[in-house]
């Protein structure tokens, strides 16, 4: 068997009109010896039902489906029952037979010649090098082992379908293997990168492990891996480039609350609600000082005087007060020392204040400074 014409599908127009592969085959038949070849049929989407029409010339031709879908693969078996009588030796051919899908103006041309005479010695060389090691050389002609076909048994018919480059395109007009690889036996073999740690992957080489967002000039911020153009972040990291830490330790304020309860911890950084600011939202330049905001409650709790004397329990219940004798005993090493004037006697009293999740705590010196 000789495949005379075996063009591959090359453009979108083939998809619209249909496509057959191969287009022309030449057969030299010995009576009683069947020869086969694969036939690929690609049809437009509205003509997917495949039924074959063919014209015969005294030979048996059977067509059987081996795969379904589009493209569709058929196996064509051709066999001559016998040679013509000696008086009809001119009937050995060659002659043409056409195979065509019904309703489509496409056909495969078979040129058939009957081999009825042999002047050779009748020797048979199995697995002959002239037959690519895939068949027997009989009277100077290869009889191929399945699934090999061709004049020298050089074509594996099982892979013929896979030679169609359309299987290596993501769409009719898409480049083969996305322009990043070669189509080999119907599958994409992606190009190698100069950097051995970088690679293309995917059915059409559409993915890569290096084309991902970067942070601080590091792929996925150094906190994840790149898969098909997207970062897959390690635990405790989020964001498009894995640049956002889920660790909240850096947002913990002195009152052991995240962002002092005055904002939100995002990527390990506090986003403070106005008017608060600072690394943990503990600063407020426009707010009254902690000394001022607690002065009236401290005075009413300890001395029973001041603006909140009559509402001390109601308004100052969240403040816990500890009393020491003198200001020298106040814990100024860790807390700010406050000095405020008493409304009752114009003397100064000293205290410290620290904020707690439950409210606040103040240590107050009983002895005033007058």
CATH (domain of 262)? 2.10.25.10
**Residue ranges making up the domain that contains 60:** 2-117
pLDDT tens per residue across span 352-364: 987 654 567 889 9
pLDDT tens per residue across span 86-95: 555 456 667 7
pTM of the model: 0.34
pLDDT for 140 beyond 80: no
Phi, psi of 312, rounded to the nearest 5 degrees: -60, -45
Measured between alpha carbons, how far is 170 from 163 in angstroms, rounded to an integer? 16
Q: Are residues 68 and 85 in the same domain?
A: yes
pLDDT for 236 beyond 60: yes
Q: Are residues 55 and 10 in the same domain?
A: yes
Q: Is 97 in contact with 56 (CB distance < 8 Å)?
A: yes
**Residue 326 pLDDT class (50, 70, 90 cuts):** very high
Measured between alpha carbons, how far is 205 from 226 in angstroms, rounded to an integer? 15
pLDDT for 76 beyond 60: yes
Q: Are residues 183 and 266 in the same domain?
A: no
Phi, psi of 38, rounded to the nearest 5 degrees: -80, 150
The tokens describing 275, both together, are: 């008017």
Q: What is the CATH number of the domain that holds 7?
A: 2.60.40.1510
pLDDT average, residue stretch 272-293: 82
Residue 141 lies in a domain: no
Q: What is the pLDDT of residue 88?
A: 54
| Overall number of domains in the chain | 4
3-state secondary structure 126-155: CCCHHHCCCEEEECCEEEECCCEECCCCCE
What DSSP assignment string belongs to 7-49? PPP-SHHHHHH-EEE-SEEEEEEPTT--EEEEEEEE--GGG--
Phi, psi of 291, rounded to the nearest 5 degrees: -65, -45
Q: Are residues 7 and 113 in the same domain?
A: yes
Q: Are residues 95 and 31 in the same domain?
A: yes
Identify the residue whose tokens are 């119907």.
186
**Residue 38 pLDDT class (50, 70, 90 cuts):** confident
Q: Are residues 279 and 294 in the same domain?
A: no
Residue 317 lies in a domain: yes
pLDDT average, residue stretch 209-214: 91
Q: Are residues 294 and 281 in the same domain?
A: no
Q: Is 202 in contact with 177 (CB distance < 8 Å)?
A: no
Residue 50 lies in a domain: yes
Q: Are residues 257 and 346 in the same domain?
A: no
Helices (H), the chain: 12-17, 290-302, 312-315
Of the residues 117, 136, 156, the one at which a domain ends: 117
Of the residues 208, 243, 278, the one at which a domain ends: 243
Residue 142 lies in a domain: no
Residue 162 lies in a domain: no
Q: Are residues 181 and 253 in the same domain?
A: no
Question: Is the Cα torsion angle 29, 31, 37, 41 positive or negative in sign?
Answer: positive
**Residue 12 pLDDT class (50, 70, 90 cuts):** very low
Residue 102 lies in a domain: yes
* Residue that wins the pLDDT comparison between 102 and 205: 205
Q: Are residues 316 and 226 in the same domain?
A: no
Q: Are residues 231 and 295 in the same domain?
A: no
Neighbour-count burial for 212-239, b at 16+ CB within 10 Å, e otherwise: bbebeeebbbebbebeeeebebeeebbb
Q: Is 88 in contact with 1 (CB distance < 8 Å)?
A: no
pLDDT tens per residue across span 103-137: 677 888 888 887 766 555 556 788 888 888 988 88
pLDDT for 264 beyond 50: yes
Identify the residue whose tokens are 């939100």.
264
pLDDT for 57 beyond 90: no
Identify the residue whose tokens are 């078996």.
77
* Residue that wins the pLDDT comparison between 260 and 187: 260
**For 185, which DSSP code?**
T
Q: Is 240 in contact with 233 (CB distance < 8 Å)?
A: no
pLDDT average, residue stretch 214-235: 90
Mean pLDDT value across the chain = 80
**Closest to 56 (Cα-Cα) out of 75, 77, 33, 72:** 77
CA angle 271, 277, 282 (to 5 degrees): 105
As beta bridge partners, residue 77 has 36, 62
Q: Are residues 96 and 69 in the same domain?
A: yes
Q: Which conformational region is residue 101 in: left (phi greater than 0), alpha (psi within -120 to 50 degrees), or beta?
A: beta
Residue 156 lies in a domain: no
pLDDT average, residue stretch 44-49: 61
**Closest to 208 (Cα-Cα) out of 192, 229, 178, 188:** 229
**Residue 333 pLDDT class (50, 70, 90 cuts):** confident
pLDDT for 315 beyond 80: yes
Residue 129 lies in a domain: no
């Amino acid at each position: 068997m000789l495949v005379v014409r075996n063009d591959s599908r090359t453009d979108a127009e083939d998809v619209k009109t249909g496509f057959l592969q191969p287009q022309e085959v030449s057969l030299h038949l010995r009576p009683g010896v069947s020869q086969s070849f694969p036939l690929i049929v690609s049809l437009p989407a509205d003509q997917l039902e495949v039924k074959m029409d063919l014209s015969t010339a005294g030979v048996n031709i059977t067509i059987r489906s081996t795969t379904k879908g589009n493209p569709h693969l058929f196996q064509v078996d051709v066999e001559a029952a016998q040679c013509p009588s000696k008086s009809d030796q001119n009937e050995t051919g060659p002659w043409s037979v056409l195979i065509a899908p019904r309703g489509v103006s496409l056909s495969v041309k078979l040129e058939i010649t009957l081999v009825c005479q042999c002047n050779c010695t009748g020797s048979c060389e199995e697995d002959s090098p002239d037959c690519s090691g895939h068949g027997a050389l009989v009277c100077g002609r290869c009889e191929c082992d399945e699934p090999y076909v061709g004049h020298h048994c050089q074509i594996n018919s099982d892979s013929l379908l896979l030679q169609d480059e359309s299987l290596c395109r993501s769409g009719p007009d898409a480049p083969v293997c996305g322009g990043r690889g070669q189509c080999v036996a119907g599958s994409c073999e992606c190009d190698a990168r100069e950097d051995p740690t970088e690679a293309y992957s995917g059915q059409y080489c559409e993915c890569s492990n290096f084309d991902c967002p970067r942070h601080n000039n590091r792929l996925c911020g150094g906190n994840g891996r790149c898969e098909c153009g997207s970062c897959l972040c390690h635990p405790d990291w989020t964001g498009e480039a894995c640049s956002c830490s889920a660790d909240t330790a850096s947002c913990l304020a002195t009152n052991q609350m995240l962002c002092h309860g005055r904002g939100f911890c995002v990527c390990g950084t506090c986003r403070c609600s106005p008017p608060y600011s600072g690394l943990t939202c503990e600063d407020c330049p426009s707010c009254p000082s902690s000394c001022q905001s607690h002065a009236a409650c401290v005075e009413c709790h300890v001395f029973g005087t001041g603006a909140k004397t009559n509402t001390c329990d109601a308004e100052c219940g969240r403040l816990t007060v500890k009393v020491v004798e003198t200001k020298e005993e106040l814990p100024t090493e860790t807390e700010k020392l406050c000095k405020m004037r008493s409304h009752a006697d114009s003397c100064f009293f000293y205290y410290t204040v620290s904020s707690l999740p439950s409210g606040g705590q103040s240590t107050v010196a009983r002895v005033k400074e007058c």
